Structure 1
Amino acid sequence: MNKPVLNPESEEPAGGWGSLKSIARMVSENHPPLAFVEELGRQNKPGGVMCVSCAWPKPKNYSAFEFCENGAKGTLWDLTGDRCTPAFFHDHSVTKLRTWSDHELEKAGRLTHPLRYDADTDRYVETSWEEAFAAIGRTLKDLPREDVVFYASGHAGLEASYLYALLARAYGNNNLPQSSNMCHETTSVGLKKVIGSPVGTVVWEDLEKADAFFFFGQNPGSNSPRFLHPLQEAKKRGARIVTFNPVIEQGLVSFVNPQSPFDMLTGHETAISDLYLQVKAGGDIAALMGLCKVVIEADDAAKAGGGERILDTGFIAEHTTGFEAFLDSVRTACWADIELESGLSEADIRQAGEIYIGAERVIGVYGMGLTQHVHGSLNIAMLVNLLLMRGHIGREGAGCCPVRGHSNVQGQRTVGIAEKAELVPLDRLKALFGFDPPTKDGVAIVDAVKGLMEGRIKAHISLGGNLLRAVPDQEAMERAWAAQQLTVVVSTKLNRSHLFPGRQAYILPCLSRLERDEQAGGPQSVSSEDSFSNISGSTGKRTPASPHLKSELSVVTGIAKATLEPNPKLRWDDWTADYGLVRDLIEATYPDQFRGYNQRLFEPGGFYRGNAARERIWKTKEGKAVFTTPDRLNALSFADARGRYRLMTIRSNDQFNTTIYGYSDRFRGIEGTRDVVLISWEDMVEARLVEGQKVTLVSDFGDGHERRLAGLEIRVHTLPRGTIAAYYPEANVLNAIDHHDELSKTPASKAIPVRIEA
């Protein structure tokens, strides 16, 4: 293959010595116990602990080391020797802490005691668990039920998540937004619409049999580095990899396996992408239309010449609907329009199309580069169109592969943390617990934020996360958050969401998944679901950071007991003592997916809860997989104009979600700062800017609200014309809460309309 033109700032491959150096730096900065090494050895193995970082699955035939750079950093972050005790707040007012960076806040260390905000001193003060639960319960009892939101971050285990959803419904609402609202809700809605499944269709064995991988807007090098191992194996057996991404990501360019002595000693790199196409931000629909056009043209030629058909006509006839209308749209699509909207040449798209046609088994991989757009659902539908054309869903070595972020973000939805009542078996909950669950839909993140800004939402309970930093319109959100009657955040470390306390505000510190969870019934285990729908157990072994910490589950039950009226079927104390009883409840609520739950908890690789679309059972409204006819060639809500750019928010390899581990983005050559805006050389010259110049990004959304991010340094980067990039979550201030996917309401963070002020 021809190696893609790289950013001149860095040609370092993913993995290799750079990964080990980055981990070593964090070890020196965080002072973890020696047991840190043991924890890495236990990671992602039966009887061990599932990674506290991403949701990438675990192989059944695991190796000695089943962790990556991200997993090691997440483990170090949890096992830090630093402590954020009540004494910390003697020296730091909440107002003063607002001047700290995200990194500095979390670097203060693990929270050790339950804390209550004291407005008179503008400080958090130590409180008791009993006082905290009682005060929270009193306030919740007095509030109208629809005015309270129960948010979950995607980390808490299935057991705590199930009880959290039960708490909300017993309280009286379905206000259960979750972090997937901000990243992969477009998958849950868009994918379900076209194949009947809200999650991906592949399993681990498919990775070992695929002939080609087509990547769209996903960066395994920083977001799921363990994915690089099966990709390396795929390359060794001759599989082809094609990448569509506005930014050149090193993980999809080349990889040095840190677990291979040969690779490490020789510097041997595995070239990952055979073809790397830098599509414009928002241009994936056009690129996918071009690929489909190549397939149709090849099929027409084969049919005319009496050759073997390119389309899987049998599959299309038996399993799909809408193909003829889609076919007409492909035939009438103009290559000039496809090139304009995608930013790619017809020749490059044809080359990618030939790779697709030449593969017997194709996996389509995507991340938030597809989901976080105004027409993100159409992005996903177009990828499904491409896969359906040759029957690449519902057979070995092929399928649709969305890659999730947080370690249990998919699983929380599975066990009931959902704002849509139709997604939850309310009849089973009624039979199990003897109350009438609410049937009215609750609020998703966008609606919750708007409700806050309009003063309708009066209280937020957050099971983990850093919601204020993660959402659009951050400045307005911070003002609205602080106006609530009650804010409660369950956390392991200090973050910005704690710094805008409501009239009553509590920080409730919890155990990490790595720590020993002792309850009345003895040591407990928790479970989580990965991106491939496998359920795996985790058993913490480390001594808790403080004797005053509670598990996430016991925090949930503590709030429930203080808030809800007594109900003999709501056995909060029994469930706290024995998490196995909670798993029995999950199995009773979802018997088809969790059969034998407790017995299968530590199966190697996890136990698979199934996926109807993988069996070619299509739970769509039509009863078949759906071909979608696109009505547009880009995923944007705005037109291009002189001086208007498509801003995509990106993450460095030194962060995970809103957690900033440090200031080294070695793959992009950016060190010591996050205050940058990346721009192509051509766009920089045209705008009469110079590298290193300080600029301000200004929202061009057009709703009359001013949104600005100042003090950013211009950095030249290899990007498509018109596409610029800045770091998440800092750049969230530029996104409007009304700028979101039309179907899922996922914030459209990958193409925000902005202008640059010099």
Structure 2
Amino acid sequence: MADHIANPESEGPAGGWGSLKSIARISGETLPTPGAIDTLGHQNKPRGVMCVSCAWPKPANYHPFEFCENGAKATLWDLTTSRCTPQFWNDHTVAQLRQWKDHDLEMTGRLTHPLRYDAATDRYVAVTWEEAFAAIGAALQKLEPDSAVFYSSGHAGLEAAYLYALFARAYGTNNLPQSSNMCHETTSVGLNKVIGSPVGTIVWEDLEKADAFFFFGQNPGSNSPRFLHPLQEAKKRGASIVTFNPVIEQGLVSFVNPQNPLDMMAGHETAISDAYLQVRAGGDIAAILGLCKTVVEADDAAVLSGSRRVLDVDFIAQHTTGIERFIECVRETAWEDIERESGLTQDALREAGDIYIRCERVIGVYGMGLTQHAQGALNIAMLVNLLLLRGNIGREGAGCCPVRGHSNVQGQRTVGVAEKTDLIPMDKLKELYDFDPPTKDGVTIVDAVKGLMAGEIKATICLGGNLLRAVPDQAAMETSWEKQDLTVMVSTKLNRSHLFPGKQAYILPCLSRLEIDEQATGRQAVTTEDSFSHISGSLGKRKPASDQLRSELATIAGMAKATLAANPKLRWDEWAGDYSLVRDLIEKTYPDDFKGYNDRMFEPGGFYRGNDAHERIWNTEPGKAVFTTPHRLNALAFEPAEGRFTLVTLRSNDQFNTTIYGYSDRFRGIEGTRDVVLMCEADIAALGLSVGQTVRLVSDFGDGQHRELAGLSVVAHQLPRGTIGAYYPECNVLNAIDHHDQLSKTPASKGIPVRISA
């Protein structure tokens, strides 16, 4: 039960005074502009600014302060008073900056001017926008379109994302990989295969009606802290929460609501998880099969006794296919095999399964702990199997809830930032813009990295992000990146990707979403899509960090005009001057999703673009939801071997993706460093190591390539035997580019085979 769950490494519950102290520390370090607090007061509210951090939904009935620790840190980080001006480069070369840490690079402050790399001095120098656009356009014109990649992080709004995708296709390529390729592409592909929806099926009201939440590999305490509010409310009304995760994450152990003065003063904690099962890394398939086996055995007993069925037989008959083969697999799989692969006992799984059976409405929540595996799509299919057994998709208080990491990563896919042509209404684009869109599928991130290493990719345009730091095989990627003819980074701050410039390289500084965006027709708003498929308008409130900054739309339009032949239907200047025109185009391109777009964008909670699976309409090949029979019991790409460990990459509560806010991971009791490897005490003893000893991790992927990460200090942590943890993105040097989900090519960052040496 919840009171028996403990996280001995944590300094205290999620939220509470620890959260406020952490925000105060970041405020003291970044010295934000005076209006930062006012911005936080308007964050995630109608006609306010939508958070630049995660994609957690914005409730229609919002709190007085509708932001969390991570959202506040992201806001303060963007609104720093520090500036990285062209004068910075008088004292620093690119080669010197390669020795800097990620945190220190971003602490230089907001970029203020467009920059061009000067190879003779190994420095960036100021350049005018017109010069930058002309040079970028000339370079792209010399290349075959499919040798260029147009990458996007999840930050840019829907309007910029739509124009970016249009620019790439008018140029002649579908090479539009996106940050979801590295996290939730497994959802987009795997979930779509079994229920016909590439996104989650629930809406906000379902959170308020659920009887239980089953969490798999998702950490709300660090990655989506606003989720803790509805979880706390769920606990108060008697709902159950069951968690499967190799790591004890404090947000799923206990929470103190920072917006409740009584809780804060009394230190009153809400215990979150009723059962917390530390599944072995890669063991979720077996664990979920154990839950399903509990359900099926209970149903078999009900049939024998003539009692009420446990399975939702009417739903299964009407809405699903593949049940017979799956049930046969469940019955034939031995409990000893389930225990061996999951690392969990039959009793623990039966207890969790009994909770599932008792609850009428269940939401299955998951994150990258399921998606970033070699069999990530099978992980997701197994969770769907569990939900389908009792009709827990497509009804109130129940459904599938993947939690997206970046603020508009889902929305960018919705409006065309996608490499797969079957996701794009090409006929609409041809009709609207009078050109023939390319018909060949573009590259994923994995394909792009391999193309770079092979010398086939000659140019990369990055709309936000820190791609070089985020991808696997980081060391090889850095060597390949700088061999390109052209690299362009649209950025707000300096990061490691800027430090490996191509033969021609440009940094184009852009407005933050938090800043006032004034264009030809007046002040502009942008829109984003959250994890529940709701669209919300966002209005910047603060003065731009520099009068040289341009919006993402203006930057895209400038590059497009300089690159493409004149086309009267591609009205870049008009679109950059009035974003409502772009929203009209999005509505024309995707009329079912964006009906009444401009009129609805400021609805409280956002407007719902709909989801067929939510209505039990299954856009799958058989026209029904699909039960998947597993062909294996773990999600790893390798077998157990003496001395081989499974590395799970972790994020600190003091970071967001590749942005490192500081070195305080209070939930794990780690302060002042990120150079650690977390191991259970039994594994430390078995290897003859000691806490605090310095070790190196060496890849054991088996492709003949040497990959290692040295200088890590051993930290004792409560983990399953054979599972170890270390921080992302530092661990990306250990992950092979060919180690990815078989269906989606999402890197398998939660199951990296490594060996440990002193």
TM over 0.5, yes or no? yes
- Give the letter aligned to residue 384 of structure 2: V
- Give the letter aligned to residue 132 of structure 1: A
Partner of 1:254: 254
8 Å CA contact retained: 1:429, 1:437: yes
Q: Kindly provide the CA deviation profile for residues 260-284 of structure 1, in whole angstroms up to 9, marking residues without a partner as x.
A: 0010000000000000000001000
8 Å CA contact retained: 2:97, 2:499: yes
Q: Distance in 1 between matches of 2:584 and 2:11?
A: 51
Partner of 2:339: 339
Partner of 2:385: 385
Q: Distance in 2 between matches of 1:594 and 1:654?
A: 36
Q: Distance in 2 between matches of 1:484 and 1:310?
A: 59
8 Å CA contact retained: 1:316, 1:388: yes
Within 5 Å, give how 1:747-758 maps onto structure 2: 747-758=747-758
- Give the letter aligned to residue 677 of structure 1: V
- Give the letter aligned to residue 651 of structure 2: R
Partner of 1:326: 326
Q: Kindly provide the CA deviation profile for residues 559-611 of structure 1, in whole angstroms up to 9, marking residues without a partner as x.
A: 00000000000000110110000000000000000000000010000000000
8 Å CA contact retained: 2:215, 2:364: yes
Q: Distance in 1 between matches of 2:734 and 2:676?
A: 14
Q: Distance in 2 between matches of 1:747 and 1:103?
A: 24
Alignment pair present for 1:451 and 2:458: no
- Give the letter aligned to residue 482 of structure 1: E
Partner of 1:703: 703
Distance apart, 1:2 and its partner CA: 4.1
Which secondary structure does the structure 2 equivalent of 1:685 belong to? helix
Q: Distance in 2 between matches of 1:5 and 1:381?
A: 29
8 Å CA contact retained: 1:151, 1:178: yes
Q: Distance in 2 between matches of 1:689 and 1:81?
A: 45
Distance apart, 1:678 and its partner CA: 0.1
- Give the letter aligned to residue 212 of structure 2: A
Within 5 Å, give how 1:120-135 maps onto structure 2: 120-135=120-135
Distance apart, 1:3 and its partner CA: 2.6
- Give the letter aligned to residue 632 of structure 2: R
- Give the letter aligned to residue 748 of structure 1: A
Q: Gaps (5+ residues) in structure 1?
A: none
8 Å CA contact retained: 1:4, 1:253: no
Are residues 257 and 479 of structure 1, via their aligned partners in 2, closer, same or farther at CA, if it must alter by over 3 Å? same
Partner of 1:610: 610
Partner of 1:213: 213
Distance apart, 1:63 and its partner CA: 1.6
- Give the letter aligned to residue 744 of structure 2: S
Partner of 1:72: 72
8 Å CA contact retained: 2:469, 2:496: yes
Q: Distance in 2 between matches of 1:569 and 1:28?
A: 49
Q: Distance in 1 between matches of 2:107 and 2:6?
A: 33
Partner of 1:730: 730
Partner of 2:476: 476
Alignment pair present for 1:558 and 2:558: yes
Alignment pair present for 1:399 and 2:423: no
Which secondary structure does the structure 2 equivalent of 1:208 belong to? helix
- Give the letter aligned to residue 562 of structure 2: A
8 Å CA contact retained: 2:294, 2:353: yes
Partner of 2:651: 651
Within 5 Å, give how 1:292-691 maps onto structure 2: 292-691=292-691
Q: Distance in 1 between matches of 2:496 and 2:170?
A: 30
Q: Distance in 2 between matches of 1:467 and 1:457?
A: 15
Partner of 1:282: 282
Q: Distance in 2 between matches of 1:552 and 1:573?
A: 13
Distance apart, 1:158 and its partner CA: 0.2
- Give the letter aligned to residue 610 of structure 2: G
Q: Kindly provide the CA deviation profile for residues 196-237 of structure 1, in whole angstroms up to 9, marking residues without a partner as x.
A: 000000000000000000000000000000000000000000
Q: Kindly provide the CA deviation profile for residues 37-96 of structure 1, in whole angstroms up to 9, marking residues without a partner as x.
A: 100100000000100100000111112110000000000000001000000011000000
Alignment pair present for 1:30 and 2:36: no
- Give the letter aligned to residue 713 of structure 1: S
Alignment pair present for 1:742 and 2:742: yes
Q: Kindly provide the CA deviation profile for residues 310-346 of structure 1, in whole angstroms up to 9, marking residues without a partner as x.
A: 0000000000000000000000011000000000000
8 Å CA contact retained: 1:534, 1:606: yes
Distance apart, 1:6 and its partner CA: 2.9
- Give the letter aligned to residue 416 of structure 1: G
Are residues 2 and 599 of structure 1, via their aligned partners in 2, closer, same or farther at CA, if it must alter by over 3 Å? closer
Distance apart, 1:541 and its partner CA: 1.5
Partner of 1:173: 173
8 Å CA contact retained: 1:461, 1:488: yes
8 Å CA contact retained: 2:2, 2:272: no
Q: Distance in 1 between matches of 2:593 and 2:121?
A: 51
Q: Distance in 1 between matches of 2:324 and 2:370?
A: 25
Q: Distance in 2 between matches of 1:61 and 1:40?
A: 17
Q: Gaps (5+ residues) in structure 2?
A: none
Partner of 1:182: 182
- Give the letter aligned to residue 416 of structure 2: G
Distance apart, 1:100 and its partner CA: 0.1
8 Å CA contact retained: 1:7, 1:717: no
Q: Distance in 2 between matches of 1:494 and 1:306?
A: 67
Distance apart, 1:676 and its partner CA: 0.1
8 Å CA contact retained: 1:6, 1:718: no
Within 5 Å, give how 1:151-170 maps onto structure 2: 151-170=151-170
- Give the letter aligned to residue 69 of structure 1: E
Q: Distance in 1 between matches of 2:92 and 2:518?
A: 33
Q: Distance in 2 between matches of 1:5 and 1:568?
A: 64
Distance apart, 1:7 and its partner CA: 3.7
Q: Distance in 2 between matches of 1:395 and 1:641?
A: 44
Q: Kindly provide the CA deviation profile for residues 394-426 of structure 1, in whole angstroms up to 9, marking residues without a partner as x.
A: 000000000000000000000000000000000
8 Å CA contact retained: 1:285, 1:379: yes
Distance apart, 1:514 and its partner CA: 0.4
8 Å CA contact retained: 2:103, 2:660: yes
Which secondary structure does the structure 1 equivalent of 2:585 belong to? helix
Q: Kindly provide the CA deviation profile for residues 406-452 of structure 1, in whole angstroms up to 9, marking residues without a partner as x.
A: 00000000000000000000000000000010111000000000000
- Give the letter aligned to residue 220 of structure 2: P
Q: Distance in 2 between matches of 1:693 and 1:570?
A: 61
Q: Distance in 2 between matches of 1:465 and 1:11?
A: 31
Distance apart, 1:4 and its partner CA: 4.2
Q: Distance in 2 between matches of 1:650 and 1:579?
A: 38
Which secondary structure does the structure 1 equivalent of 2:667 belong to? helix
Partner of 1:18: 18
Q: Distance in 1 between matches of 2:58 and 2:366?
A: 19
Which secondary structure does the structure 1 equivalent of 2:715 belong to? strand
Q: Distance in 2 between matches of 1:648 and 1:668?
A: 15
8 Å CA contact retained: 1:4, 1:276: no
Partner of 1:192: 192
Distance apart, 1:5 and its partner CA: 4.4
Q: Distance in 2 between matches of 1:96 and 1:753?
A: 33
Q: Distance in 2 between matches of 1:191 and 1:693?
A: 43
Which secondary structure does the structure 1 equivalent of 2:573 belong to? helix
Q: Distance in 1 between matches of 2:11 and 2:63?
A: 29
- Give the letter aligned to residue 753 of structure 1: P
Q: Distance in 2 between matches of 1:463 and 1:220?
A: 27
Q: Distance in 1 between matches of 2:262 and 2:642?
A: 51
